[in-house]
Structure 1
């Protein structure tokens, strides 16, 4: 290369060098600008929260922000990559500026007192891998744009006050390994899109208000280890596909409204399965033999269901540490080997047909009738054969008679009585309420409690009022309510379906009334809702209040003026006004009601009548009940 040509290249070399220097300067400027954005975002975060313990005292200009407590930066760009402020006694509102720290990979704010909504600006953190907001007071809905954080591995929003539905957009987080939402007020169905989270290892929604069916798409989560859906409102059956996920270690669907039986063809392909919890549901049927394939099973809880049949002996061979079969309909001899040698960690109470077992279980002895071999003469054989044939024919005719006329008869557990009600047994009410489980408790009254139940005979949801006969006047209340409700019929009065008057399994007197179920609860719950009811319900409008008042007035007008013997309710109050699914008012609880043998017009005009009207203090309306206490029940 000649000298002239080299001189021609020299300006070009200087030009390239200049360009490189300018580019480097621009990059350095961008880096410095990015660092300044992070610093300002951290300072804005500090100004928005309360820090009584002085954890953020180091957040000042005396040191670089990468040296501040709880802040971790990357070595290359010196940008904030981790913000770890868990368990620091902090409170306040997380500012939207947190979305400006674009290099964040981890945010941990758990075990503090942050409130208000989760900033949707988290959705701008495209590098974010872990977001832990567990155990705070965040409210409102889960931001749907968290789905933009495509690198998320852990999303922990448990123990907050979140409400609304689970966004279907979260189903696009293909790298997500843990989705933790337990102890919130979330509702609606689990979206089928959750089945697209192919990397998910833990899905926890316990203690929310989720309902509907458990989606079958959860069976697609082939890497799932823990599925925790307890204490919700799920109905229907447990999808079989879930039991066939080989990686599952823990399955908890307890305290829901799941029904039908445990699938007999469960694969349990479940060898890592260690925990199966299905207690407090409406499961029916025997324990399937396929559970014997779960060789690593340690905890099995199927208590408070309607399972029946014998307790299988294969449970003796499992390495269980806790077994709960209580309050079902199991029968026969209790196994005595393996895990059944311990009455401490094996619970079988509430199964009235069980017998045998080791003495610690305190079950009755099993009695077996032994057939004695005797010689039977030829004539005796003929007689025995003839009698057997006749008995067989009689049984067949009886069955034909039963099936022919069964459409004119009530269910076997129900019978008519002189009081005009269908009668139901204590055993059927025990099954309908899951052993009078607290999860079915609807409320408490003056003389007892009201539980939600599912009757086997009608497959309908009912409200069951259980009298506490230890209360003074409870028996009289039962008699009074039966006397009133068997006579009256009106669209604005709660309809009684059947009654129970007998004894429990301990020989104690037992009385209960079964009513039609009012899906919207009592007027008192709408006028004075609890904290959880505030989230689920809107306030009653003026029109709704007026309509309910009219419904109650119509019911009282019927009781006072349009029945052959006037009736005074004596205890009219918001908790005794029940609302159906169309918000129509129904008057209930006639335990203090009185029949007036004299003409009511005189009584209404004369407030000093000596009938002896009693009721709840503050709700005894002066004069005619139809005035509704100057309409104060609804304000």
Structure 2
């Protein structure tokens, strides 16, 4: 039995030599629920316990306690204060909760106190000042509240004070100015108000000062500019105002990073900045700076990052852009942004001589005129180039086509002219191409097909003509296609159905004609459809698969027939414009039609009924028509009945004779076997080289999967061979065939054929043949082992969001769009397959059940535990208690899958047990600690990716915003109670919104 706190305390008093050991045991008893401190037992001397260091001068007295990242939890034990010789405590990156024990103030020898990255709350103990030897206090990323204790100002030896990312309120105490040894002060991302104390200027040793993202106001005290040792200065996103001192660069000669963005500073940028010779990062964005940009910034040869965007800079003269010539001396420059100012004049030819390290160049939203210098192609490392919303003219230089790393090209809203530049097809890494609002002529070149990664293509408001190139619709990565207000002719190609991930399609105000192809129904992710102002005709096709549609405008065309019934069933539709067509009949009254303010049907003279607010005439009564047709209908019904009886007799006679000639086989064919062309065992054996080990690509519960080349369909396929000796394999085969019988969706694994035959040994043989997925399954990408080809690869944020949307869309289809709702029962990463374009396909329907069979159970999982449906970790809790199969079970699995994708943690890892699950792990981190639980491999690549289109200082918060939203969906879907879980339709729409919000960066989206 573990000793109680009382017994430990009394024993410690009786045996002074055991004080530290008993204090450590008391700490373990209270703060180690996962037994991370397994070495802390009587088999080892406590000075050899994990994370413990004892004094050389004072044996058996603990001086260092380093227990970072060990999943320690619970309220911090006050018995830590009995370790009176402690010099350093590091309990960072754990799960500690509650208040910081005031007893810590008794540790007068303490020098280093690290409690960051926990969930501590409450006020900072004022009696920490008793620890007068303290050098470092690090409480970052907790939930601390209240004011910063005034008493901390008496810690004259303190070197580092880090209270960032908490909920601290009130003002910064003037007493902090007494911290004469302080070199680092982090107070960022709190709720601090008031002025910056002038007393802080007394801390001559201060080198890092970061108070960004608070509510501070007033001016920066002049004394702070006299701290010559200052290296990093950040007051971003407060409400500070005033002018920067004229001698800024002189008073801060050692400054390396200077951040004052997101405030209300006015006046000119000090020309003395060129004296800050060590300056690398200069962030002055989102203020009210005026005047010209200093022409001597080129003296800052170490400059890497310069952000002056969103001010009112500019002299009103044509020489405004001359500062670029000076910056050619900055050979390390990587990011340059002056967007959103009032800069005038032409770009100097010297822009071609800027640093070849330049990755981001943002000159948009100014008054720049003239053409782009032809030498700009020298900037071959550019990733993002934005010159949108200026007065630029001429043609786009061919040098841009040589930038083979370019991912974002935004030149919208200028006066560029001539033919559309076909050489842009050479920029094969393009992600965003935004050339809207210019005067480009000619047709859209087919060379754009080479841009296989293109996600946003915005060419609206130009003078483009000709037909819509079919090659554009082969860019399957497109998410936004905006061709509004051109002179395009012809029809909308049926290849539009290739764009299965398309979210926004705008082809309005052109001269397009013909009928809308039914293949548009394959664009399952479509949310905004704008085709108004064309010459389209015929009946509008059924787009019943587009359940996530938010806006639909098909006005000012020549559509006829009745308003399609499916429109009133689009659950999330917010705006519908059907005006000025030739629709007829009664207007529906359900769905969006209940909200007359969101619907327009004017200009359709043959419509009637609907909501009274639409002011349409009442529909004529059908009684008289019914009476006139009554007799003819009766005659017709009699004729039909007689015909059916006659055909039935003939069919019965034919079947009877056939049975005599062909006896009934021993086993009836499976419904899917009847539906698909069957294939022989020999065909599959030849396709897989005799089911050789070299072609084996996976082993599952009920069989093995082989890669093969099937000549009969001319494709590389995956052959799933059932192990019929395994109990339940035959049922799995039947279940999978039944489930796949009538379902078709781009995010479900496509089946080509089946085989139910005899193998070479005379044994029963059953196999299914699917599309081959070149990129394996999601499990291999998330948790690649050392011997797997995916080990060196990583999924980006957009790839993970795309996969999340694909899987949600597939589930939404299975649950809500099939004749009978289908429950998958085994959703997990290994059952998510990825094709060449990294599109996700849900596979393995061996446990699937129709909703009408809710009383039935899914087959047992790998553990063969009776009553368990699915796989441990992804299994809905109600299944474990004998609950019936339902779509809610799939939703739970989807939530766990989503959390796994973005945390990189399996739900079955050792840290997750009865007291902590993956769901709770994510829920406890929201919202403030979301970045701490994110898959570190994702963070390593995504921060750089976001910087390509966002101000660097905002990159982390932007990424955090997307991840918090995603985690919230995962948590909402994996709630313990069924009634609390998010509906799969809502989850699909929310994940679409998150993805499209992430991908809409830099696009001038249309709002209605």
Q: Which ranges in structure 2 are unaligned for 5 or more consecutive residues? A: 1-10, 353-360, 371-550, 554-573, 577-595, 598-925, 929-1008
Equivalent in 41, 51, 57 of residue 60 of structure 1: 41
Give the number of the structure with larger relative contact order, counting CA–CA contacts within 8 Å between residues 6 or more apart: 1
Partner of 2:307: 324
Partner of 2:343: 353
In 2, Cα distance between the equivalents of 1:31 and 1:76?
A: 22
Q: 1:35 and 2:23 equivalent?
A: no
In the TM superposition, 1:252-331 aligns within 5 A as: 252-266=234-248, 268-319=250-301, 320-331=303-314
**Which secondary structure state, in structure 2, belongs to the residue aligned with residue 179 of structure 1?**
strand
Partner of 2:63: 81
In the TM superposition, 1:522-533 aligns within 5 A as: none
Tell me: CA distance 1:189–1:268, structure 2 relative to 1, closer, same or farther (3 Å): farther
Kept after mapping to 2: 8 A contact 1:275/1:297: yes
**CA offsets per residue over residues 317-367 of structure 1, 9 Å max, x none?**
112111000011111412122435889511011113343333774765569
In the TM superposition, 1:463-478 aligns within 5 A as: none
In 2, Cα distance between the equivalents of 1:241 and 1:235?
A: 16
In 2, Cα distance between the equivalents of 1:55 and 1:299?
A: 42
TM-score, normalised on structure 2? 0.33
In 1, Cα distance between the equivalents of 2:79 and 2:334?
A: 55
Runs (4+) of structure 1 exceeding 6 A deviation are: 29-32
What is the deviation of 1:263? 2.5
Q: 1:245 and 2:227 equivalent?
A: yes
Tell me: CA distance 1:76–1:194, structure 2 relative to 1, closer, same or farther (3 Å): same
Q: 1:141 and 2:123 equivalent?
A: yes
Kept after mapping to 1: 8 A contact 2:249/2:274: no
In 2, Cα distance between the equivalents of 1:81 and 1:32?
A: 22
**Which secondary structure state, in structure 1, belongs to the residue aligned with residue 269 of structure 2?**
coil
Partner of 1:91: 73
Kept after mapping to 1: 8 A contact 2:298/2:329: no
In 1, Cα distance between the equivalents of 2:338 and 2:175?
A: 40
Kept after mapping to 2: 8 A contact 1:331/1:355: no
What is the deviation of 1:107? 0.6
Tell me: CA distance 1:365–1:304, structure 2 relative to 1, closer, same or farther (3 Å): closer
What is the deviation of 1:242? 0.8
Partner of 1:542: none
**CA offsets per residue over residues 157-183 of structure 1, 9 Å max, x none?**
111110100000000000000000110
Kept after mapping to 1: 8 A contact 2:214/2:237: yes
Q: 1:337 and 2:333 equivalent?
A: no
Kept after mapping to 2: 8 A contact 1:243/1:267: no
What is the deviation of 1:472? 5.1
Q: 1:156 and 2:138 equivalent?
A: yes
Q: 1:121 and 2:121 equivalent?
A: no
Partner of 1:172: 154
Partner of 1:519: none
Partner of 2:51: 70
Partner of 1:481: none
In 2, Cα distance between the equivalents of 1:313 and 1:307?
A: 16
**Which secondary structure state, in structure 1, belongs to the residue aligned with residue 105 of structure 2?**
helix
In 1, Cα distance between the equivalents of 2:109 and 2:271?
A: 48
Partner of 2:216: 234
> For the aligned residues, what is the CA RMSD?
3.1
**CA offsets per residue over residues 243-299 of structure 1, 9 Å max, x none?**
110111000000111112212343633222100001011111111122222111111
Equivalent in 145, 169, 176 of residue 187 of structure 1: 169
**Which secondary structure state, in structure 2, belongs to the residue aligned with residue 187 of structure 1?**
coil
**Which secondary structure state, in structure 2, belongs to the residue aligned with residue 122 of structure 1?**
helix
Partner of 1:225: 207
Q: Which ranges in structure 1 are unaligned for 5 or more consecutive residues? A: 1-28, 368-467, 478-530, 534-635
In the TM superposition, 1:375-454 aligns within 5 A as: none
In 2, Cα distance between the equivalents of 1:257 and 1:287?
A: 18
Partner of 1:203: 185
Equivalent in 114, 135, 159 of residue 132 of structure 1: 114
**Which secondary structure state, in structure 1, belongs to the residue aligned with residue 27 of structure 2?**
helix
**CA offsets per residue over residues 566-598 of structure 1, 9 Å max, x none?**
xxxxxxxxxxxxxxxxxxxxxxxxxxxxxxxxx
What is the deviation of 1:51? 4.1
In 1, Cα distance between the equivalents of 2:247 and 2:38?
A: 61
**Which secondary structure state, in structure 2, belongs to the residue aligned with residue 40 of structure 1?**
helix
What is the deviation of 1:50? 3.1
Partner of 1:628: none
In 2, Cα distance between the equivalents of 1:264 and 1:255?
A: 22
In 1, Cα distance between the equivalents of 2:927 and 2:39?
A: 40
Tell me: CA distance 1:340–1:236, structure 2 relative to 1, closer, same or farther (3 Å): farther
Tell me: CA distance 1:69–1:225, structure 2 relative to 1, closer, same or farther (3 Å): same
Kept after mapping to 2: 8 A contact 1:240/1:266: no
Partner of 2:85: 103
Kept after mapping to 1: 8 A contact 2:226/2:252: yes
In 1, Cα distance between the equivalents of 2:86 and 2:31?
A: 20
**Which secondary structure state, in structure 1, belongs to the residue aligned with residue 53 of structure 2?**
strand
In 1, Cα distance between the equivalents of 2:263 and 2:149?
A: 27
In 2, Cα distance between the equivalents of 1:276 and 1:348?
A: 16
TM-score, normalised on structure 1? 0.52
In 2, Cα distance between the equivalents of 1:311 and 1:276?
A: 16
